[in-house]
């Protein structure tokens, strides 16, 4: 029997969903409110019913494509006169995905429609978007944080020694740094040099976008950060006043003043502003489109499908932000069955992961090409290692200058805890039918024969990786070898060395795919994770009521957040052979 409280809560949530499903009338001179609540993602994570009802470890998610679609539709909609951006309750997106969002904002502004950014506090990621608005407002007691980018790892060698755990690591690719946390107490000089190169490049791109958006001289942001203590002292420790004086914002305004300014820009009285939230706007457009269904038998445009591949690559099903090989393969095959399909764009945002999972997905991609379909890759923030393995043999690769890619290398990590057993006074003994019977037991030392097996698997996998890249990129292995070796490249560097074909975002990738397929007219269909009716309902409920707050602040929350990456890394180690194509130092820098 369902408890009355649970049933009542479910009925209440359903009433919210059905109420919000009604289309909102969009008045003339309306203002689009870009105020997403949740983590910005390329693909929604299906909710399990019990997890959703109990709100355990569930965070609201926002599709990047929804934000872009809403902005683009509003730019063409005569009923929308302006846009307000408020990212206070938004997590992400990555740097390259933010550039996609900024490109959509630029298209909106090109229509002569003003954009205002408002906020109490601006993080580095939020400010990158806000800086592209026509006007940036900050609360008088708010702040704006610009500190620079950093990439830091946890190094475990002393911890492993203390808990008597031995991790046997193997790698192919001299710069494949994924094994360093198990071997060292600090970042190696080689890895420090590689990370400093791509991190510096991303920071230059970041500051250039802000300086261009705010009309500041080149180098202004670096000078502000270098002189921050002295500058702050000049303004009595008031970050908001300092930001205004330095030209980072256009005005200081509390909530009432912000509302008044928005009304002024919209050309309406303060109580007459018709604001429409981006998700309500999309729902209304969807209902309006239902009345404009195409006439049966009419000539229909060809189809370009967008397939997202997001998260660490793991075998099996996608769950909790991981990209499961079986889920992605099913999605690719479902895509191939779409009537009128001519081209597919893979939207890749992954640091890599399991070799097995990467290969299953790569084979699914090649099935599409074998059917005569054009396949183009759009790289988001990350398409490293296993992500590049999937992309290498497609027809065209598009990346943003700030995309991280490459990291062509392979590693394995095999833990044994015989020292812990010995310390605890536990012995392990027995008999096997062959010399390999105890080869890969975690409670016994790794023999040289077993280590040799792993080394050969790693070496063979790396050679296969090099050949796949060489074949896909029209090179020979000798040309690929020096740009492989586990080295991480930015998108702009990857263009120079031939690992990608052009710069741009998802929109550019779609246009290129249509062009390669010889299409004059086309429609775009996004292929997300297949969900059951129950999961779709729960997803809608979650988005409607802002399920599970993910926005906490303060040192305790920061400490908890800092522990997530290493725990998630351990959780992603699921390859059947323990062999991985993954970049560990790559991270979202915003």
> Are the C-beta atoms of residues 45 and 60 closer than 8 Å to each other?
no
**Residue-wise pLDDT tens digits, 103-131:** 999 999 999 999 999 999 999 999 999 99
Pairing relation of β-strands 352-354 and 579-582?
antiparallel
Q: 3-class secondary structure for 545-569?
A: HCCCCCCCCCHHHHHHHHHHHHHHH
- 511 class by beta-carbon count within 10 Å (0-12 exposed, 13-18 middle, 19+ buried): middle
SS3 of residue 169 by DSSP: strand
- Residue 92 near residue 587 (C-beta atoms within 8 A): no
Query: Alpha carbon of 47 to those of 57, 157, 538, 555: distances in Å?
Result: 10, 37, 7, 30
pLDDT digits (tens, 9 = 90+) for 144-174: 999 999 999 889 999 999 999 999 999 998 7
List Cβ neighbours of 218 (8 Å cut-off, separation of 6 or more).
208, 211
- Contact (Cβ atoms closer than 8 angstroms) between residue 205 and residue 455: no
Asked, as a colleague might, if the bond just before 93 is cis with ω within 30 of 0, I would say: yes
Longest Cα separation, the chain: 86
**According to the CATH classification, is domain 24-150+207-285 in 3.30.70.3000?**
no
**What residues form DSSP beta bridges with 314?**
324
Of 406, 394, 401, which is closest to residue 346 (Cα–Cα)?
Answer: 394
Smallest Cα–Cα separation from 242: which of 253, 254, 229? 229
Helices 64-76 and 95-110 pack at an angle, to 10 degrees, of 10
- φ and ψ of 421, to 5 deg: -60, -45
Cα–Cα distance for residue pair 428/303, rounded to 1 Å = 61
Task: Look at residue 92 in the predicted model and tell me its pLDDT.
Answer: 80
Mean of the per-residue pLDDT values of the chain: 87
| Whole-number pLDDT of residue 566 | 59
Crossing angle of helices 325-336 and 355-370, in 10° steps, is 10
CA nearest to 43, candidates 350, 402, 401: 350
Strands 488-490 and 410-416: unpaired
Closest-CA residue to 327 (of 313, 339, 338, 337)? 313
pLDDT of residue 28: 87
**pLDDT tens string 379-426:** 999 999 999 999 999 999 999 999 999 999 999 988 999 999 999 999
Angle, vertex CA 351, rays to CA 576 and CA 367, nearest 5: 65
Answer for the pair 503, 492: CB distance below 8 angstroms, yes or no: yes
Residues of the chain falling short of pLDDT 70: 1-23, 46-59, 268-272, 291-298, 529-572, 574
Two domains, one topology: 24-150+207-285 and 303-582: yes
Going from N- to C-terminal start, the domains of the chain cover 24-150+207-285, 303-582
**What is the architecture, at CATH level 2, of domain 303-582?**
Alpha-Beta Complex (3.90)
Q: Which residues are catalytic?
A: 176, 385
């Amino acid at each position: 029997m369902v408890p009355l409280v649970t049933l009542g809560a479910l009925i209440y949530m359903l009433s919210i969903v059905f109420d919000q499903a009604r289309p909102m009338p969009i008045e003339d001179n309306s203002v689009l409110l870009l105020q997403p609540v949740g983590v910005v993602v390329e693909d929604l994570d299906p909710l399990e019913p019990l997890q959703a009802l109990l709100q355990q470890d569930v965070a609201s998610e926002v599709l990047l494509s929804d934000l872009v679609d809403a902005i683009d539709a509003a730019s063409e909609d005569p009923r929308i006169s302006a846009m307000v951006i408020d990212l206070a309750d938004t997590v992400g997106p990555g740097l390259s995905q933010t550039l996609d969002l900024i490109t959509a904002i630029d298209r909106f502004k090109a229509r002569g429609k003003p954009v205002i950014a408002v906020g109490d506090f601006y993080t580095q990621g939020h400010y990158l978007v806000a800086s592209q608005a026509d006007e940036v407002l900050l609360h008088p007691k708010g702040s704006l944080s610009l500190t620079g980018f950093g990439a830091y790892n946890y190094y475990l060698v002393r911890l492993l020694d203390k808990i008597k755990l031995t991790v046997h690591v193997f790698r192919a690719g001299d710069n494949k740094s994924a094994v360093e946390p198990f071997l060292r107490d600090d970042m190696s000089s080689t890895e420090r040099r590689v990370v400093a190169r791509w991190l510096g490049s991303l920071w230059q791109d970041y500051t250039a976008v802000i300086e261009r958006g705010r009309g500041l001289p080149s180098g202004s942001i670096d000078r502000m950060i270098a002189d921050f203590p002295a500058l702050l002292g000049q303004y009595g420790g008031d970050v908001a006043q300092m930001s205004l004086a330095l030209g980072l914002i256009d005005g200081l305004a509390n909530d009432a003043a912000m509302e008044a300014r928005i009304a002024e820009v919209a050309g309406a009285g303060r109580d007459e502003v018709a604001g429409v939230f981006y998700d309500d706007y999309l729902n209304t457009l969807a209902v309006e489109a239902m009345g404009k269904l195409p006439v049966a038998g009419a000539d229909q445009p060809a189809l370009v499908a967008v397939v997202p591949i997001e998260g660490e690559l793991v075998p099996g099903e996608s769950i909790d932000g991981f990209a499961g090989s079986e889920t992605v393969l099913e999605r690719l095959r479902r895509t191939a069955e779409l009537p009128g399909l001519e081209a597919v764009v893979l939207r890749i945002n992954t640091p890599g992961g399991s070799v097995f999972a990467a290969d299953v997905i790569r084979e699914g991609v090649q099935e599409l090409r074998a059917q005569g379909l054009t396949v183009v890759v759009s790289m988001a923030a990350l398409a490293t290692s296993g992500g590049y393995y999937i992309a290498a043999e497609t027809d065209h690769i598009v990346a943003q200058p700030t995309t991280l890619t490459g990291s062509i290398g392979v590693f394995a990590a095999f833990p044994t805890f015989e020292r812990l057993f010995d310390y605890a006074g536990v012995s392990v003994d027995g008999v096997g039918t062959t010399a390999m019977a105890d080869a890969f037991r975690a409670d016994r030392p790794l023999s040289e024969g077993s280590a040799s097996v792993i080394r050969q698997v790693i070496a063979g996998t790396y050679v296969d990786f090099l050949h796949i890249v060489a074949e896909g990129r029209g090179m020979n292995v000798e040309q690929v070898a020096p740009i492989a070796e586990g080295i991480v490249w930015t998108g702009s560097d990857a263009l120079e060395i031939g690992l990608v074909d052009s710069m741009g975002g998802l929109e550019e990738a779609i246009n290129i795919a249509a062009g390669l397929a010889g299409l004059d007219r086309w429609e775009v269909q996004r292929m997300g994770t297949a969900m059951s009716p129950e999961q779709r309902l729960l997803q809608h409920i979650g988005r409607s009521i802002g399920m599970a707050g993910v926005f906490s602040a303060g040192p305790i929350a920061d400490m908890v957040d800092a522990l997530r990456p290493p725990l998630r890394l351990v959780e992603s180690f699921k390859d059947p052979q323990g062999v991985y194509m993954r970049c560990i130092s790559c991270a979202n820098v915003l």
